[in-house]
Amino acid sequence: MQAFRLVAPHTANLVTVDRPKPGAGEVLLKVGAAGACHSDLHVLDAPDALGMPMPFTLGHETAGWIEAVGEGVTGFDAGEAVAVYGIVGCGRCVACLAGRDNECRNTAPGGIGLGRDGGMAEFVVVPARQLVPIGDLDVTQAAPLTDAALTPYHAIQLTKRNLRPGSTCVVIGVGGLGHMAVQILGATTATRIIAVDTREDALKLATEVGAHHTVRSDAGAAGAIRKLVGPAPGGADVVLDCVGAQATVDIARAVVTTGGDIAIVGLAGGALPVGFGTLPMEARVVVPFWGTKAELRDVIALGQTGAIKAHVQTFALADAKRAYDDLREGRVQGRAVVVPG
């Protein structure tokens, strides 16, 4: 079978490998779709620093159909459509036992497509416990929901205390995560949504999916947001920074209200000083990581009802490298999704 594998830092190729076989407690999944996430670029550039042994197949957003089940697997039938919860925790620590594998105390962040073979292949083997049924939801929609929607959904749950009716939430970055964040906010809260991005096409998409206001991310962005949310000590109740660059965390700090929440969702390396006088009083900063399996079930339910819908650009498996090149160059609107079939 064909698989898009990371073989060395900065080097991923489409190669031919043997079709895997499911072991005890595992399933063989025929991959229907696999999302290309911006965080994969960090994996491509520095897998050693992230503790991910090579080679392995990329793709941590995966959906498809059960091809075969291993010994001891019950409750799943061949041909059933499922999405994959990508985080693989230790299963023993207090966080994992509470269903928060994304907070595992014994394993470094990783999982399917992040250190072990992922979904950018014709088939992939995953533990059966990672599966969430998707019913008749299209696999090209289900795949990006496993991260591009799950991650902002989790961030929204962490900041829910301030997402009251009449509140304001600023979403910085309307890419794969941000365009889903706007929709999830609209589907689950009554907050006013201000979307921020450097690209006009992204701001247009933000308006199409439910943002009430858009602001160009430039030197005047904080001032433009302040005109909408008012002066300090007031401001935005919640800021979801889906970029995480220095310029964007600076915007977040400049516009959040006293007692507000900042969630740094993106991985672009910005630093936010935390201390007396560096943030408004009673402000809280959280650094969300992915989400829980229970939250993925919520996200899939939102997708099944049509309350949220990923804006996807599809690529053949043979064009997986181009998908990542386009992602790196900012040419992807919404989410890039590789379709092996």
Confidence at residue 162, expressed as pLDDT on a 0 to 100 scale? 98
Task: Classify residue 94: in a domain, yes or no.
Answer: yes
pTM value is 0.96
Question: Are 324 and 204 part of one and the same domain?
Answer: no
Cα angle, residue 266 at apex, residues 296 and 42 outer, rounded to 5°: 100
pLDDT of residue 52: 85
Chain segment 236-259, per-residue pLDDT in tens: 999 999 999 999 999 999 999 999
Q: Is 193 exposed, middle or buried (CB count within 10 Å of its CB: 0-12, 13-18, 19+)? A: buried
Cα distances (Å, whole numbers) of residue 318 to 2, 34, 272, 321, 325 = 9, 13, 40, 8, 13
CATH number, residue 216: 3.40.50.720
- Give the pLDDT score at 48: 78
Structural domain span for residue 117: 2-133+311-339
Domain of residue 61, CATH code: 3.90.180.10
Q: What is the reported pLDDT for 51?
A: 79
Calpha distance 259→161 (Å, rounded): 10
* Residue 47: per-residue pLDDT: 81
User: Could you list the mean pLDDT of each consecutive 10-residue stretch along the chain, which spans 341 residues?
Assistant: 94 95 97 94 84 91 97 94 96 95 88 94 97 97 98 98 98 97 98 97 97 97 98 98 97 98 93 89 96 98 98 96 94 94 81
Per-residue pLDDT, 245? 96
pLDDT tens digits, 12-64: 999 999 999 999 999 999 999 999 998 899 899 888 777 788 899 999 999 99
Same domain? 66 vs 155: no
The amino acid at 333: Q
Assess if residue 306 is contained within a domain: no
Please indicate, yes or no, whether residues 112 and 222 belong to a single structural domain of this protein.
no
Q: In this structure, are 18 and 125 located in the same domain?
A: yes
* Nearest-10 Cα torsion for 336, 285, 89, 154: -50
Same structural domain for residues 77 and 29?
A: yes
